[in-house]
Amino acid sequence: MRQYAPRTGTFSRPKPCHNIKLTYYPVLTWEMLRYQRMKVGVLAAHQRPALESLLRRIKVRPAAKTGISEVVVQSEARRLAAPWFDDPASRPATMKMIETAGYPPNAIEVEAFQLAFPALAPIARLIVSALSVSTGIWRIWRAPRKLMPGRSFEQSREVKPACRALMVAFNY
């Protein structure tokens, strides 16, 4: 692969560090955005179970006190939660019922987060990992460069050891 150099009007081999930076930054950025979308999706998928859990605590009597089975309790909670998702006009009444029971206005989101936490923790670790790799590439790329004897600044930049470390780290 040849790269056009507009200053000199010639084609040359691209610099390895430049390629690593141009290749891995967009990939890592895309991965972090994808992980963020996954987090949003996981939280959205837990909205219904969260509302059912809250309604079970508020409206449906516990199975131990009334003698009904847990399946009946779950189906009753599902029936009570259905209007929230079917008819947006019923949401204010449900929110009022939740707040009247002593829960904060964001109780559904909090409950969804608590239910989704086991799935969210690995995604958060993936985001932190991608961010640390991205930061590491930036630090190596922006590390102070020393002029090598008999070479210009640009030539010294090409052969710096940090560039070799990047090439080894990414099997480039």
- Please state, in angstroms and rounded to a whole number, the distance separating the CA atoms of residues 166 and 172: 8
Phi–psi pair at 142, nearest 5 degrees: -95, 10
**Residue-by-residue DSSP string for 91-129:** HHHHHHHHHHTT--TTHHHHHHHHHHHHHHHHHHHHHHH
- Please state, in angstroms and rounded to a whole number, the distance separating the CA atoms of residues 31 and 34: 5
| Predicted confidence (pLDDT) per residue in 96-151, tens digit | 989 999 999 999 999 999 999 999 999 999 998 888 877 776 666 565 555 445 55
> Could you tell me the two tokens for 105?
């206005």
Angle between helix axes 47-58 and 107-141 (nearest 10 degrees) is 150
Domain that holds residue 10: 3-169
Question: Is the pLDDT higher at 9 or at 74?
Answer: 74
* The pTM of the whole model exceeds 0.85: no
| Predicted confidence (pLDDT) per residue in 15-50, tens digit | 555 566 666 777 788 888 999 999 999 999 999 999
Domains identified in the chain, total number? 1
